[in-house]
Amino acid sequence: MKTVSVILARGGSKGIPNKNLVSLRGKPLISYSINSSIKSSVEETWVCTDSPEISAFSSSLGVKVLIRPPELAMDNTPSEAALLFFAENVQFDILVFIQPTSPLLKSSYINEGIRLVAEGTYDSVFSAYEEHWLPRWSMNNSPFNWDPRKRPRRQEVPSLLVENGAFYVTKKSLLLETGLRYGGKIGHVSMKECESVQIDSFNDLEFAERLVSSL
């Protein structure tokens, strides 16, 4: 079975202009995801982009590039539309979808996700971290899904998995059948919460700078 990865990297970004090439500790943000993929057990690493700059940089790191049409790189374009475009143009059996905004993703996590799907334990997996219960409030200062009169202890509330968006693994046949990044029997790969930062704002970038420098 052939396993490839794809990193979807648009040129446009409103939160951080040209976000995928913004410098993080002196390196373009997307380089972290590319290097994690290259070090993993995937057979080919692909970047799917509409940007000539991202294409040129990715090619300089030795990965394959698929140019996607502008209509699949709009602000409101779902990732699944680009994933289906990729699946229609590249031959593979298992796909690892990696987000370029997850600089702390390790290749060992990618390998674990591939193993779980390749061995048939799950049909698809996503990356996540475990979250213990904390009292959450809505923006109008109302308790969200809990009662202050019956405030539970943290130990009394089951922990939840938070999908951190770092990567997903699925079979090509399942992607084409469902049109979704996961389906069938779904599993997960656990990452640390501190490794789950997603770069969507300058605050995220500053936080990631501190995390990367401490590792």
Active site residues: 151
CA–CA distance, 79 with 171 (Å, rounded to integer): 16
Cβ–Cβ under 8 Å, residues 144 and 137? yes
Which among 83, 158, 170, 75 is positioned nearest to 125, based on CA atoms? 170
Which pair of structure tokens corresponds to residue 176?
């084409």
Q: How far apart are CA 164 and CA 191, in angstroms?
A: 9
Q: Which residues contact 126 (CB under 8 A, 6 or more apart)?
A: 163, 167, 168, 169, 181, 182, 186, 188, 189
Lookup result for tokens 């202009």: 17
How far apart, in Å, are the Cα atoms of 172 and each of 3, 78, 108, 169? 10, 18, 22, 10
Residues 35-51: b if buried by 16+ CB within 10 A, e if exposed: bbbeebebebbbbbbbb
Three-state SS for 59? helix
